Amino acid sequence: PNQSEANLRSPICCIMGHVDTGKTKLLDCIRGTNVQEGEAGGITQQIGATYFPAENIRERTKELKADAKLKVPGLLVIDTPGHESFTNLRSRGSGLCDIAILVVDIMHGLKPQTIESLNLLKMRNTKFIVALNKIITQFKEQGLNTELYYKNKEMGETFSIVPTSAISGEGIPDLLLLLVQWTQKTMVDKLMYRNEVQGTYLHHKEIKAAQGIKITAQGLEHAIAGTSLYVVGSHDDLEDIKESAMED
Ligand code: GTP
Ligand code: MG
Ligand code: NA
């Protein structure tokens, strides 16, 4: 064969993960097939291979506008079972592939066969991509439309999903930027300063809205954090205001 960078073979990609994380369903979704529902007990019991030609992939990735210049002729994807009794098949699958998809059911996290798959991939130093599955439809079941944040063009109608880690800090910059951009773009009215309920206190000449401040006063041990602050002006009825405060 012509050994050059311009003449590549199709990479082999193995799908691995714990039972019922949605490996076969993902393939069905890509293929436009319904293999999963035909499986006995919904359990994959063998290795299955599907070939995706480059034109298929180009079509399917159009919306990303990445204008993918595909150098490979396609992608051969191998489905593996996640059930614990099929370690041998997972081992074989992971031995065949150039790259892998590790599917994680986001509602269940990392389970024993996820870890087993991970160890098989690590052992062979196989590079892989993690697919976080199931989150979007569960929101749909609750009547919410969600979309990954960088694809969401109608924020408000559709809720944005930002994958984060509160341990490593991954995704936090994205989350913060999104909060700031979204509020300053769509909540301008709400965010404008208003004259009502501004106080002047001992150590501060002026406090702008939405700042945390410490209030020093008598009897504060009876106040509940988060309740409204009322300013009694010279024309106000103290009893009326007391009543409003108690209702809060
Ligand atoms: P094994 O091959 O047996 O390990 O399972 P699998 O990882 O191939 O999972 P499968 O495709 O059989 O899906 C398991 C169940 O999860 C099925 O009932 C699917 O319909 C369901 N499922 C898969 N993906 C999703 C998803 O994105 N959202 C929801 N709500 N359900 C899903
Ligand atoms: Mg399966
Ligand atoms: Na299954």
Cα distances (Å, whole numbers) of residue 153 to 36, 101, 180, 190: 32, 27, 16, 22
Nearest atom of ligand 1 to the alpha carbon of 138: 30
**232 contact partners, CB below 8 Å, separation of at least 6:** 238, 241
The amino acid at residue 230 is: Y
C-beta separation of 100 from 16 below 8 A: yes
pLDDT in tens, 76-104: 999 999 999 999 999 999 998 999 999 99
The answer to whether ipTM exceeds 0.95 is: yes
Determine which residue's CA is closest to atom 3 belonging to ligand 1.
43
What tokens appear for 55 in the block? Answer: 């034109």
Closest CA to 16 of 124, 130, 137, 108: 130
The amino acid at residue 222 is: H
pLDDT in tens, 178-205: 888 888 888 888 888 876 654 446 555 6
Residues with CB under 5 A from ligand 2 (ion): 23-24, 44
| Ligand 1 proximal residues by C-beta, below 6 Å | 17, 19-25, 36, 42-44, 81-83, 133-134, 137-138
CA distance 90 to 18: 11
Helix (H) or strand (E) holding 78: strand 74-79
